[in-house]
Amino acid sequence: MLYRSYLFNTLTGQLGAPIDLASISWNISVADSALSTTRNHDVGKASVTGISVPWSAVPGADMAERREMISPLRTGVMVFSLTDDDLEQERMGTPFIGGFIGLRHDNAHGTSFDLLSPLGLLEHRYMVREGKYGTGANHTSPDTIALTNLSMRAIACAIGEQCTGMKPAGHLPIDWQYTGEKGTHTRTYEAWDVQNLSCAHLLGLLANVSDGPDMQFRPTVSIDGRYVGWRFEAGSDGALYLGETIVHSLSYHPTGGMLQDLQVDRIAPAQRVYASGAGTDKAQTTVLCEDLTMCQLDKDPFPLYELTYADSDTEQAALLKTHAQAVLESNRIPLMQLKASINISQHDQSGYPRMPLGSFWPGERFDIDIRDYAPLPDGIYRTRLMQMSGDGGDTVHLTFDVMEDTGIW
């Protein structure tokens, strides 16, 4: 598997010159995949770190042009994966990760930087209308944005559009494809609360309620190959998870199978979540969510394990309870998690790559056939891919979704 990278303009997505990246580490997720009591749903993340480039590999006729070509934030980098067939057919390949150049470290020999993902840049865009902040009586900000009767992902798109295209020099090459989709949800955002109105934060709040959908930014390239960007992908109100209709198959056996370095992590259940919301002291909004089933088993019950959850932005007890219930639901039974790696250069009997990058994404379902593996009974384990990472080579590390551990209770 080969990688090829191109520079592009942050505002327009227009592709520029190719750039040879000497080193790269990447990570893509659909949600928080940690096997811990404090994990959240969150928005899918994508990071590219450890990029190191000698000056001779930076496009440009002279040093002044090279420095400008990799201007922080104004310029991005999109990474494509290429199969042997792509090379033979002289195709660009498949864009699978990219971002905007962040803090850049230069020395006499070259430069190094990480890429700021779309979500990372959206941490610095705020859900406030132009001309409405600090323009009220006595320099107040009473403006309110109400989004009503929309799906969750349509609310996310409305937030995204307000924080990009509706701001000066705010456009980003993101397709907010669910704009205006009808639903039953309502959200209100008040300008005075700007400290809590970053676009990334608001998307995270939507993803983290109990009925919050998967959200992810997936790289795209235009048909003519001149522009790159991202398509905002999200689960619907009726089907919260991405990739529910796509099922991949992998297998593990000590002497065969595509999966390598298989490991299983396990954790015991929690039964209570004490949640605190807006307010202070005795006036603070509080709710309790509990499920004591695991403590009341007839045989060998689990000891009580309690958690806390805090969200100072939430005033309504009902909304606070949905957040707390989501935490409880993700921790109330014994859980386990599979991790493994694959070689993305493996081919099938016909010579085609079995799992090239761009053919599978975090969020999609996997049937994992496990045989002769001491920690687990033989069987097919259906789960979702939550995270994948690599370092520019053929090995890709996979983290699958947390699942019920039926083997310990």
Beta strands in 257-322 (DSSP E): 260-267, 272-276, 286-290, 306-310
Averaged confidence pLDDT in the chain:
92
Beta bridge partners of 75: 9
Whether residue 8 is predicted with pLDDT greater than 60 in this model: the reply is yes
Whether residue 409 is predicted with pLDDT greater than 60 in this model: the reply is no
Instruction: Find the mean pLDDT for residues 45-72.
Output: 94
Collapsing DSSP to helix, strand or coil, 402 comes out as coil
CA–CA separation, 260 vs 340, rounded Å?
6
pLDDT of residue 408: 65
Whether residue 39 is predicted with pLDDT greater than 70 in this model: the reply is no
Contact between 258 and 342 (Cβ < 8 Å) = yes
Distances (CA, A) of 117 to 125, 143, 217, 229, 265: 13, 30, 9, 11, 29
Contact between 133 and 142 (Cβ < 8 Å) = no
Residue closest to 96 by CA, chosen among 178, 216, 204: 216
Whether residue 353 is predicted with pLDDT greater than 90 in this model: the reply is no
Collapsing DSSP to helix, strand or coil, 322 comes out as helix
Tell me the percentage of the chain whose pLDDT exceeds 70: 96
Whether residue 261 is predicted with pLDDT greater than 80 in this model: the reply is yes
Kindly indicate the confidence band of residue 208, based on its pLDDT and cuts at 50, 70 and 90. Answer: confident
Instruction: Find the mean pLDDT for residues 6-16.
Output: 97
Tens of pLDDT, residues 115-140: 999 999 999 999 999 999 999 999 99
Contact between 94 and 81 (Cβ < 8 Å) = yes
Calculate ∠ Cα 61-63-65, nearest 5°: 60
Instruction: Find the mean pLDDT for residues 208-231.
Output: 93
